Every structure is written in C-alpha cells, then in structure tokens.
Amino acid sequence: MNRLIALITIIVSVSSAGMLSAQELERFVRYSQNGGEIFWGMVHDDEVYQLAGAPYNTMEHTGVKFLREDVKLEAPVEPARIFMTGLNFYSHISGDPAETPALFIVPANSLVGPEDPIIRPAGSENLHYEAEMAIVIGKRAENVTVEEASDYIFGVTAGNDVSERDWQAGDFQIVRAKGSRGFNAVGPELVKGVDYKNVEITGRLNGEIVQGENSSDLIFGMEKMVSYISTYFTLEPGDMIWSGTMGSTSAMVPGDVYEVEIEDVGILRNEVVQGR
C-alpha cells in the first residue's frame, strides 16, 4: 500500500510539473547590436536566444545567445498592418458606446521600440500619451468568429498610442495625429500566454500614475476585435490590434518620460524628445 501511495504521489507530482510548465509565459524580443541587423530572440532569465525568424512562424533556435544587457531592444513586433481602436473604454467616452468598434489604421513605420525616444514633431503643441494593450496575430485570419478568435492571437505587448490632439481635431483624417514618425512606442517584450482578457494596464507620466484600468473593462474585447476586423480585412501573422486607451490624457513635452506597464508583460518606458 505504501508503495502504491508513493507511486501515485510521483505521478501527481510529474503531472503537476507538466501543467505548470505548460502555463509558463513565453517571452520574445527583437534586438540589434551596434545598429546592425535586427533579429528575433526568446528570453530566458537574463539571456536572449536568437531565433531563425519571428516566433509565430518558427521556434527554431540558431544556437546564438547574448546577455540581455548586451543588446539593444527594438520594437518586439514586425507588422504589415496596425489596426487601432478608439473609444473602447467606458472611462474614455461620454454617452453610450457605438455599436461597432471605432477602427483606424496607422503606418507600420510609425513604431518605435522600448529604448527609442518618442518624437514630438515641429509644430506640435498638444502631444498626448495613451496607454494601451496590443495583441499580435499568429496566423492568417479571414471571417473568424469570436469563438475562434483566441486561436489567432499569438501574444501581447504594451503600447503608447501617442496622439497630437490639435491635429486630431483639425485634420480631415487622423493619420497624421496618430501615425507620425516616432509616435507609437511598443515593448519591451512580446509575451505569449498572457490572459489578455484580464490584465492591469497602467500609465505613468514622470513616475506618477495618470492612467489605469483592467482589460476586462474593454467595450469590445480583443477576440471581438479579431472577429470584426477579419470580416473586412485579411489579418496576417505579425499584424497588430491595439485596445484603445482609458480615462483622460494630457500633454507631454520634451524631457517627459511615459511608462506603460501591463501585468505579465513588463514596462515600456520612453522619453519625449523634440523633433525637427
């Protein structure tokens, strides 16, 4: 009997260990050295293990690794399309929510990484922060149902949807206000296994908390966004969908530092600099 109990204990221990391992988060970055070629890597503790390509395409390790402190972290995404969502938290709207998401697109090359500055363009006088969660698509998606959508979401990262409010109010469309060069910061990591339905999103201006809410409060959740967008557009691996921001925002000036922290993802930290 004692031997049987011991055997059962071993089996349960092994099974539990396997379950814990399956639940571990997987962390990915894009990195460079001395301004050279950019590579994908998988993070283990303080080391970055180079991958043969984007993690949603391959998990093949090349055998090359670096200490994290010895590389420059780039934006941990490589999208062809960036879909953003406006007015998607009740705390960021007045009145009743719209029946469909407020969707817009920004250029992919508006992205900057966790070690890059946010650039305030010449002529900008009302540049605001917007703390957001962003998801990355893992496989091609067309006409996906809400129930199927989780299978198409690869991972989560933090984003700052920098917005020039005067331009947003005055331009015919919001592409300049939302998608200018050096606006949209993301990082520091792309994390697989995050519960994107229930994570805290926090924004800090110069160390002071100025935004904060849980992703469970989204009007249109990320699975609904995947379904809605894929009804009209083809989503490809690497494409991004941003959540929209919460609460109220205010202006940043050169020298300010804005942080976006997402539970289980990390802290995105960027300084604002004056552009030409």
Nearest to 260 by CA among 163, 164, 177, 187: 187
pLDDT at 66 over 70: yes
> What are the residue boundaries of the structural domains of the chain, listed by start?
24-74, 82-274
Q: Residue 276 has what pLDDT?
A: 87
Fold match between domain 24-74 and domain 82-274: no
Q: Which CATH architecture fits 82-274?
A: Alpha-Beta Complex (3.90)
Nearest to 133 by CA among 55, 208, 194: 194
Report the predicted TM-score, pTM, of the whole model to 2 decimal places. Answer: 0.91
Could you tell me the CATH superfamily of domain 24-74? Answer: FAH (2.30.30.370)
| pLDDT, mean of residues 207-230 | 98
Burial call 38-48: b when 16+ CB within 10 Å, e when fewer: ebbbbbeeeeb
Q: Residue 17 has what pLDDT?
A: 38
d(CA 40, CA 53): 6
DSSP readout, 198-260? S-EEEEEETTEEEEEEEGGGBSS-HHHHHHHHHHHS-B-TT-EEE----S---EE-TT-EEEE
For residue range 102-155, list pLDDT tens digits in order. Answer: 999 999 999 999 999 999 999 999 999 999 999 999 999 999 999 999 999 999
